Structure 1
């Protein structure tokens, strides 16, 4: 342990590790603090899918270099080794409560996949092994608790340990303590809290192999969302339950859904091999990700999450920006690196990926709170497949465009639903969700 580091990074997820890579490769000393004992172990629910590899996302086009086994971001000048398995997913099947279906992607599949299923533990292990260890020190079982700002330095408190650095990177995820400590959340809107349970299942009988399956369900009249994705190797599937309703017991929901006649055949005889959980605060996103020599990357500044690819790109670009800023200080030249990162964050994330669009996925069951209305909309909108995507922002745009084209048909066949559509389409999803679950 050094007396002083150039940068302390809080969080050893994909964003934090790629920030460390950028800084270390530019010759700066980095301390990475991680509350887990095993740095590469996954202990919280995660979809473990990389999306979208078939379109631009956060200013880059991600792809998997199969020959050399590397994950690549060509426009960001980033690649790193990945020694695990990958499964290409080309179709997204989306079910309503009454099993009406919409489909993103074509049968048979055409073009590039819409997502890659991967093993996150393997990816984290590869990232850690790829880092220059003479520049990066890891401190597992070390949880950020406080920080004190001084002239040209930050004193980071992590339990009984103290770390001194010139700068700090907040890469501690959706419930970031660093971001909260800096006072950002005083000016962010807390919209809802997402509750998640994930189950790895062996022997799952997939109605559509090598595809993504999602559904909207209601448990005791409360919305619950189902996500099913195949694991990258073997026949395991990742079954994820999500809800914004604090009163819903997702363990109980698992029992109900797996025995429900609509889904029971999928789960008959399936065996749980691992379980995970997560609770994530959903806030309006951070607008300016730098304050008091602390830089925010990844989900720490997002509305719930940036998807893994977005988190990785922000971590890499944030690390490069801070490396350049430290060099500016050494040279005594006018600073611009951090301003460029803030501009990139604003123009790439905030302006291109409206968090209200992201919330529309969760808002569906609140905007149209009756299952029969959701069934009707899925039925009229799902007559033809949508273009292939698993990007939530792209999907919302495609759904909105198709719905606009069907308004006259809906007005004729179901004027009651047309009136409800007219009312909800003028509201922000964040307002609809917050009002429905009465978030303080």
Structure 2
């Protein structure tokens, strides 16, 4: 016999656990299902950064108050507890094969008043998840770890979720099962979404070194790959990773070359100790315009192109839990009942960003090392401090748009290559799509 609830939540990440905490707090009889045995254990690529801070993303911002041990969401009007270490994050930096760079944020200026000028903090994500899980349990939520959802179907007024040998029924289901959402696939919601590429990342956790200029995330482009280096939670700890849209690439070999033999960047890692690895594979689909079907509300990463950020995921969970609560209170167990979430999603997520056309290209296919060194060297002053990827991409586009006359005059060969990218874009997109796994 199926277990009966007011709400079933699938997925125990920041969005799902946030939804569980607040649904339980609102008095809903709630179940949370997650496929992992240890729900709060992080096994995939994740830097643990909490952002936006001192800026807005999706019209949200966050405040970290270490004195009160609170992470605050002032736009939405709630907070969660966090009792752990933190490290300031000041923004992005772009590096070329030859070591040229430009930054997003003036580090000297930012450090004069770090609390007001940082754009994020690195926190212990497992501690955040443990806190949310503990709150959910204290609020009466039933937790079902090691429960792999294999079916979901609406019959009459209830949605039945099948997980393992058990069934769960509720008027509403919240799907917070991440970017490769199984719930979205079972419901057929990916069939109408444009597939861009399969994004692959591999990460090494290293320690025992000091890279003073990395105080956020550095994107390093060499002719061997596209890498990133980010500061970890503790001094001397770093995350070193590589990304690709080619599933056949040997990412471990790329990292070995970057860390141990790259003529410019291997010096950063001299004496480093590798302590672990992580990876993730993301099938990149266009964001959902209407993340709702058969009384299943798809939230956060599960309805987006990639991750929306840890902080925004928590807000999505809070918003979804309150929307379902109001629907049940008002006796509207339908789309109209949870329209507050859908309207919010439409206004702050889909309308500004949902129809942006992602271009899964590898820049090294079009430009050589000398070209990249030249282009990066043109940016003399720091750009706006940010941890917002949309702002990052927009600022890069604006910066080089303004520099086009200079590039055309000084390096007509590079300018011609840049213009040539537009001509080859469709071919590159088709190749990335063909190499990927749409998994619709």
Match of 1:375 in 2: 373
364, 370, 386: which one pairs with 1:389? Answer: 386
Q: Deviations over 1:272-319 (max 9, x none)?
A: 222211111111111101110000111001002212222222121112
Q: Summarize the alignment of residues 226-237 of structure 1 with structure 2, pairs less than 5 Å apart.
A: 226-237=227-238
1:352 Cα deviation from its structure 2 partner: 2.1
Inter-CA distance 166–333: structure 2 relative to 1 (3 Å threshold): closer
Q: Tell me if the contact between 1:19 and 1:316 (Cα under 8 Å) persists in the aligned partners.
A: yes
Q: Deviations over 1:143-174 (max 9, x none)?
A: 11111220011111112221122211110001
1:417 Cα deviation from its structure 2 partner: 2.9
Gaps of 5+ in 1: none
Q: Tell me if the contact between 1:368 and 1:374 (Cα under 8 Å) persists in the aligned partners.
A: no
Q: How many residues align?
A: 429
Gaps of 5+ in 2: 111-115, 436-440
Match of 1:253 in 2: 254
Match of 2:321 in 1: 319
Q: Distance in 1 between matches of 2:377 and 2:298?
A: 42
Inter-CA distance 407–57: structure 2 relative to 1 (3 Å threshold): same
Match of 1:413 in 2: 410
1:183 Cα deviation from its structure 2 partner: 0.8
1:244 aligns with 2:245: yes
Aligned residues: CA RMSD: 2.4
Q: Distance in 1 between matches of 2:395 and 2:279?
A: 31
Q: Summarize the alignment of residues 279-428 of structure 1 with structure 2, pairs less than 5 Å apart.
A: 279-329=281-331, 336-354=336-354, 356=356, 359=358, 363=361, 365=363, 368-380=366-378, 382-422=379-419, 424=421
1:418 Cα deviation from its structure 2 partner: 2.6
Q: Distance in 2 between matches of 1:205 and 1:266?
A: 8
Q: Distance in 1 between matches of 2:385 and 2:97?
A: 23
Q: Distance in 1 between matches of 2:7 and 2:29?
A: 7
Match of 1:217 in 2: 222
Q: Tell me if the contact between 1:81 and 1:130 (Cα under 8 Å) persists in the aligned partners.
A: no
Inter-CA distance 59–214: structure 2 relative to 1 (3 Å threshold): same
1:181 aligns with 2:186: yes
Match of 2:11 in 1: 11
Inter-CA distance 200–26: structure 2 relative to 1 (3 Å threshold): same
Q: Distance in 1 between matches of 2:151 and 2:304?
A: 21
Q: Distance in 2 between matches of 1:281 and 1:161?
A: 29
Match of 1:82 in 2: 82
Q: Distance in 2 between matches of 1:69 and 1:273?
A: 29
Inter-CA distance 128–57: structure 2 relative to 1 (3 Å threshold): same
Q: Distance in 2 between matches of 1:26 and 1:367?
A: 53
Inter-CA distance 337–370: structure 2 relative to 1 (3 Å threshold): farther
Q: Distance in 1 between matches of 2:417 and 2:396?
A: 17
Q: Distance in 1 between matches of 2:125 and 2:57?
A: 20
Match of 1:434 in 2: 429
Match of 2:41 in 1: 41
Q: Distance in 1 between matches of 2:194 and 2:397?
A: 25
1:158 aligns with 2:163: yes
1:112 aligns with 2:117: yes
DSSP 3-state at the match of 2:102: strand
TM-score, normalisation: structure 2 = 0.91
Q: Distance in 2 between matches of 1:31 and 1:404?
A: 51
Q: Distance in 2 between matches of 1:426 and 1:7?
A: 50
1:423 Cα deviation from its structure 2 partner: 5.2
Inter-CA distance 89–334: structure 2 relative to 1 (3 Å threshold): closer
Q: Deviations over 1:345-397 (max 9, x none)?
A: 1110112235647x46x6461684434333222121x2111121121111122
Q: Tell me if the contact between 1:49 and 1:115 (Cα under 8 Å) persists in the aligned partners.
A: yes
Q: Tell me if the contact between 1:366 and 1:436 (Cα under 8 Å) persists in the aligned partners.
A: no
Q: Distance in 1 between matches of 2:182 and 2:154?
A: 16
1:218 Cα deviation from its structure 2 partner: 3.2
Inter-CA distance 377–356: structure 2 relative to 1 (3 Å threshold): farther
Inter-CA distance 333–251: structure 2 relative to 1 (3 Å threshold): closer
1:76 Cα deviation from its structure 2 partner: 0.8
DSSP 3-state at the match of 2:178: coil
DSSP 3-state at the match of 2:128: helix
TM-score, normalisation: structure 1 = 0.91
Inter-CA distance 375–354: structure 2 relative to 1 (3 Å threshold): farther
1:20 Cα deviation from its structure 2 partner: 1.2
1:424 Cα deviation from its structure 2 partner: 4.3
Q: Tell me if the contact between 2:45 and 2:279 (Cα under 8 Å) persists in the aligned partners.
A: yes
Q: Tell me if the contact between 1:191 and 1:439 (Cα under 8 Å) persists in the aligned partners.
A: no
